[in-house]
Structure 1
Amino acid sequence: MTSGDTKTLSPTRDAGSDRAAVRAPLLFLCLESHRPFAPAARLSLAGIDEVTFGRGAPRSFERPSPRRLAVRVDDAWMSTNHARIGKVLGRFTIEDLGSKNGTRVNGEAVTRAALADGDLLELGRTFFVFREGLVVSPDEPPIVEVSADGAKAPGLATLLPSLGRAYETLAVISRATLPILVTGETGTGKEVTARAIHALSGRPGAYVALNCGALPESLVEAELFGHRRGAFSDAKEDRPGLVRAADRGTLFLDEIGELRPPAQAALLRVLEEREVRPIGATSPVKVDVRFVSATNRGLEKMVSAGAFRADLFHRLAGHHIELSPLRERREDLFLVAASLIERHAGAEASRVRFHPSAARVMFEYGFPGNARELEKVLGAALALAGGGEVGLEHLPPWARGEAADEPAAAVKEGEGEPLREELVRLFREHKGNVSAVARVMGKARMQVQRWMKRYGIDPEAFKK
């Protein structure tokens, strides 16, 4: 099967399909660092005993026999017969086949290595991530290719089966008028998702955004519902308000958890009655608005604590989608990066390249600030690279393992032992996988290696 024969991600059709879903080993082709806009790919290893890798143009994924998969990548740094993945005692193992530039697993050169869940594989200038078992639906094709510009809407590109199904559901829900609640950590792309919902909705009206946390309580109702001229001392003209400005469109309420109780009650009335009464007006005005809300706070806990109205919560959460942090979407890292590169580099985006060492540390870093931090890192790197290849020297200090990345508090007297205990706990939990520990801690791999040396921690002791 060539890359041209692959299919796009299929939605889960019904609850029966969900019940029939199974766990399958997957291999993700996440990045060709010499051409970062090449589509990413997800390859199912279910029923596969051997995968061979080599240089070839055009890129292809072929099945020479039912239990073999041949991967060919247009990568000049990859040998014709570069490496193979095979099963040894039921476990996948990678073996270098005498390639010129070698094979790396989690940044370390190897000739042969057993693969663990989440391992980063580097062949030439192409990066793969191995996953031991993710839930897939039976109707999903064995090979899926995804590009940032091929998503249903900007920001909705993913290789992950579970997130792909969530996006498929969101695309269907977007065409209805049901309110949608988007949750997730800071920087996970909640507003990008809200814009995608509006784009997919087909609604002819405007997309209007309001940051509830930045609005003084005294101005909330005037901003949302508008006012008539003379309604109060500064009301020198009629204002329609944001709800009416979004008529037949979408109103995005960011940081909805910051909305004070009086404003919550007023917003609930709009949701229930589909009408607004501008301040100073004697009669309400009918509106047709799709509400999308977002928060990084736990609204259900706020409801239990009495800080957020239960009836408003249930109205806003007609459909709920939770966005995963970037550290849990490493397979998607450069899909997200591609759209950000286009935003910053514009017409020069096609010239962007990444040195493998730079791409490697980006995969290993946890990006605690999520896509927002990734955008900041890329913006600076592209400017410093000046149109050339992005290297380690263009990335922040954490990429080079410099001491500036280490919190000073970690080396103060009395604080070393708690850090060591945390490291030991994480190494035990992740079976000695240094990259996994680095991602969970939101640190570069080199930073964790420095701590290992300082505290005398041997990751091999946790692999037994």
Structure 2
Amino acid sequence: MSRLDDGTLSIVEDSSDAAASARGAHLFLVLESLKPLAPPVRISLSGVAQVVFGRGSSRAIGRQQLGNPIQLSVRVADPWLSSMHARLTYVLRRWILEDAGSKNGCTVQGARQTQAQLEDGDIIELGYTFFIFREELPHDVGDPMIFEAPAPDQRIGKLATLLPSLERGFSRLASVAKSTVSVLIEGETGTGKEVIARALHEQSERKGDFVAINCGALPRDLVEGELFGYRRGAFSGATEDRPGLLRSADRGTLFLDEIGDLPAPSQAALLRVLQEREVRPVGATKPIPVDLRVVAATHRPLERMVEEGTFRADLFARLAGYRVELPPLAMRREDLGVIMGTILRELAPERAASLEFAPRAARALLYYPWPGNVRELEKCLESALVLVGEGTRIELEHLPVAVQAALTEAGTGRRPAEGNAEREKLVGLMREHKGNVAAVARTMGKARMQIQRWLKRYDIDAESFRK
């Protein structure tokens, strides 16, 4: 079973696995503006006393010298970096970024700083290279100190992440894919649920097709005919036999998108198909065997819908053999460079390697909260490529107006406006339930622990609502 853990997908472990988990400071090299396809990197700061940043002939990240305490060196082929640009030092249980006399200075949260005490989620700009600092990121004690995002040909489908718990979830999907276990993918619209479903199908080695069905788009009076097929003459307008979408996925993968929108009668009919592994077309007298691997997705809280009686508990149990929850893009900002690289390779395969981003454009992309998630990012980059024409440098003016406006937040020294909509929703519910975290959790269909994590992340004081 999976659940959202501090903005990343995590798996509920047994006691032996849980003992190996920890939280610790990490630094992410998110984006090189001049080389957006360069693989982003996660650096664990556990046991590290100091990190030195500077320009190199090529990227090189590793120990600056042998022995303890550990000192790391981060060299990037960024001409706007000085050879000795900045130092990140652990002092009195705090991480301090200090300019080392660089020509172009250091920027934290969009504001120039000679010295800054870092906070969780801070965006650091050194030259044309962007980093994100995380103070207490969940990870396994056995994770590597330096982890580079895998090359496209080493990924499961298009799935790639630098976040440790999400990385483990993606890795386990390879094992799940080769089984017949049903998978339920949960997450906001645009987070990439269909990408995971297609990756599962590609890894499954099933011979049939991948058939995607948007349950919310099916005409309510024709749902069963569309799904299960029908015989000629079964109803007015049935002028020929139709196999239906479920039979089209025979020996393949059936992706039921927005399963929470499926009407109650159709839920019962679908349950029979999953139980009996056979389909009875509308108007037919005999069922037809089908071999289906079912992957379902939803942005709705199915567990709460089960409690309310609007979604069948037995169908939910059939669909939720393995559950994953994709966090919104605003809560996995560390992956922005990884995702951008994937999108650019798809949209412009012949010129992606020559593209670069102006610093102001890169800064806006990192500060924007992405309410439409990965889908919105893809549309943003697609339009930018059109506007840049034959050029190779994407400027701020090539980005949508809403993304450009994110720069008004940058330069204030504040954290990005990530998850503003989520924060406002949470504040409203906390006010409505007078600070009762358990009641808010029930309303949102989330675990109580998840609400507590979000309260901490968005700096919301539950006590203030109980007065």
| TM-score bracket for this pair, using the shorter chain length | 0.7 to 0.9
CA contact (8 A) 2:97 2:116 kept: yes
Out of 396, 400, 415, the residue aligned to residue 435 of structure 1 is: 415
Further displaced range: 296-305 or 276-285: 276-285
- Equivalent residues in 2 for 1:50-129 (5 A)? 50-63=50-63, 64-66=65-67, 67-129=70-132
Residue matched to 2:449:
none
Given the alignment of the two structures, is residue 209 of structure 1 paired with residue 231 of structure 2, yes or no?
no
User: In structure 1, how many angstroms separate the alpha carbons of the residues matched to 2:404 and 2:324?
Assistant: 36
SS of 2:352 mapped into structure 1? helix
User: In structure 2, how many angstroms separate the alpha carbons of the residues matched to 1:252 and 1:40?
Assistant: 31
User: In structure 2, how many angstroms separate the alpha carbons of the residues matched to 1:57 and 1:342?
Assistant: 25
User: In structure 2, how many angstroms separate the alpha carbons of the residues matched to 1:441 and 1:340?
Assistant: 25
User: In structure 1, how many angstroms separate the alpha carbons of the residues matched to 2:139 and 2:323?
Assistant: 21
Please list the CA deviations of residues 390-417 of structure 1 after superposition, one character each: whole Å capped at 9, or x if unmatched: 11111122344399x99xxxxxxxxxxx
Given the alignment of the two structures, is residue 398 of structure 1 paired with residue 402 of structure 2, yes or no?
yes
Please list the CA deviations of residues 262-303 of structure 1 after superposition, one character each: whole Å capped at 9, or x if unmatched: 100100001101111122322211111111111111111111
CA contact (8 A) 2:97 2:118 kept: yes
SS of 2:125 mapped into structure 1? strand
> CA, structure 1 residues 402+241, in 2 after alignment: closer, same or farther (shift >3 Å)?
closer
State TM-score, norm by structure 1. 0.83
**Partner amino acid for 1:441?**
N
> CA, structure 1 residues 393+442, in 2 after alignment: closer, same or farther (shift >3 Å)?
farther
Out of 376, 381, 398, the residue aligned to residue 378 of structure 1 is: 381
> CA, structure 1 residues 15+176, in 2 after alignment: closer, same or farther (shift >3 Å)?
farther
Residue matched to 1:429:
none
**Partner amino acid for 1:197?**
L
User: In structure 1, how many angstroms separate the alpha carbons of the residues matched to 2:404 and 2:24?
Assistant: 36
User: In structure 1, how many angstroms separate the alpha carbons of the residues matched to 2:57 and 2:204?
Assistant: 39
CA contact (8 A) 1:21 1:137 kept: yes
User: In structure 2, how many angstroms separate the alpha carbons of the residues matched to 1:22 and 1:402?
Assistant: 33
Further displaced range: 338-347 or 202-211: 338-347
User: In structure 2, how many angstroms separate the alpha carbons of the residues matched to 1:317 and 1:254?
Assistant: 14
Given the alignment of the two structures, is residue 20 of structure 1 paired with residue 20 of structure 2, yes or no?
yes
Cα displacement (A) at 1:57: 2.8
Residue matched to 1:354:
357
Bigger relative contact order, structure 1 or 2 (CA pairs below 8 A, ≥6 apart)? 2
Please list the CA deviations of residues 303-329 of structure 1 after superposition, one character each: whole Å capped at 9, or x if unmatched: 111111111111111111010000100
Please list the CA deviations of residues 43-75 of structure 1 after superposition, one character each: whole Å capped at 9, or x if unmatched: 111000010111113311121223111111111
Residue matched to 2:182:
179
CA contact (8 A) 1:153 1:200 kept: yes
User: In structure 1, how many angstroms separate the alpha carbons of the residues matched to 2:155 and 2:276?
Assistant: 32
CA contact (8 A) 1:12 1:137 kept: no
User: In structure 2, how many angstroms separate the alpha carbons of the residues matched to 1:274 and 1:400?
Assistant: 51
User: In structure 1, how many angstroms separate the alpha carbons of the residues matched to 2:150 and 2:386?
Assistant: 24
User: In structure 2, how many angstroms separate the alpha carbons of the residues matched to 1:231 and 1:128?
Assistant: 62
**Partner amino acid for 1:371?**
V
Please list the CA deviations of residues 101-139 of structure 1 after superposition, one character each: whole Å capped at 9, or x if unmatched: 211111111111111111111111111111111121122
> CA, structure 1 residues 363+151, in 2 after alignment: closer, same or farther (shift >3 Å)?
farther
Cα displacement (A) at 1:228: 2.5
Cα displacement (A) at 1:151: 4.9
> CA, structure 1 residues 12+46, in 2 after alignment: closer, same or farther (shift >3 Å)?
farther
Residue matched to 2:463:
none
User: In structure 2, how many angstroms separate the alpha carbons of the residues matched to 1:117 and 1:205?
Assistant: 46
> CA, structure 1 residues 442+95, in 2 after alignment: closer, same or farther (shift >3 Å)?
farther
User: In structure 1, how many angstroms separate the alpha carbons of the residues matched to 2:266 and 2:100?
Assistant: 66
CA contact (8 A) 2:330 2:373 kept: yes
Cα displacement (A) at 1:90: 2.2
User: In structure 2, how many angstroms separate the alpha carbons of the residues matched to 1:296 and 1:440?
Assistant: 16
User: In structure 2, how many angstroms separate the alpha carbons of the residues matched to 1:388 and 1:230?
Assistant: 59
Residue matched to 1:457:
none
User: In structure 2, how many angstroms separate the alpha carbons of the residues matched to 1:62 and 1:83?
Assistant: 16
**Partner amino acid for 1:434?**
R
CA contact (8 A) 1:40 1:147 kept: no
**Partner amino acid for 2:400?**
P
SS of 2:134 mapped into structure 1? strand
Out of 219, 242, 246, the residue aligned to residue 245 of structure 2 is: 242
Q: Percent identity over the alignment?
A: 53
SS of 1:291 mapped into structure 2? strand
User: In structure 2, how many angstroms separate the alpha carbons of the residues matched to 1:44 and 1:442?
Assistant: 31
Cα displacement (A) at 1:18: 2.5
**Partner amino acid for 2:54?**
G
- Segments ≥4 residues shifted beyond 6 Å: 11-14
Residue matched to 2:428:
none
SS of 1:308 mapped into structure 2? coil
Further displaced range: 249-258 or 275-284: 275-284
CA contact (8 A) 1:147 1:335 kept: no
CA contact (8 A) 2:82 2:103 kept: yes
CA contact (8 A) 1:17 1:138 kept: no
Residue matched to 2:454:
none
* Structure 2: runs of 5+ lacking an equivalent: 1-10, 423-459, 461-467
> CA, structure 1 residues 151+89, in 2 after alignment: closer, same or farther (shift >3 Å)?
same
SS of 1:401 mapped into structure 2? helix
User: In structure 2, how many angstroms separate the alpha carbons of the residues matched to 1:73 and 1:200?
Assistant: 35
Given the alignment of the two structures, is residue 154 of structure 1 paired with residue 134 of structure 2, yes or no?
no
User: In structure 2, how many angstroms separate the alpha carbons of the residues matched to 1:112 and 1:347?
Assistant: 42
CA contact (8 A) 1:148 1:339 kept: no
Q: How many residues align?
A: 407
SS of 1:218 mapped into structure 2? coil
User: In structure 2, how many angstroms separate the alpha carbons of the residues matched to 1:359 and 1:19?
Assistant: 39
* Structure 1: runs of 5+ lacking an equivalent: 1-10, 407-431, 444-461
Cα displacement (A) at 1:230: 3.2
Cα displacement (A) at 1:330: 0.5
User: In structure 1, how many angstroms separate the alpha carbons of the residues matched to 2:228 and 2:22?
Assistant: 49
User: In structure 2, how many angstroms separate the alpha carbons of the residues matched to 1:340 and 1:147?
Assistant: 15
Given the alignment of the two structures, is residue 268 of structure 1 paired with residue 281 of structure 2, yes or no?
no
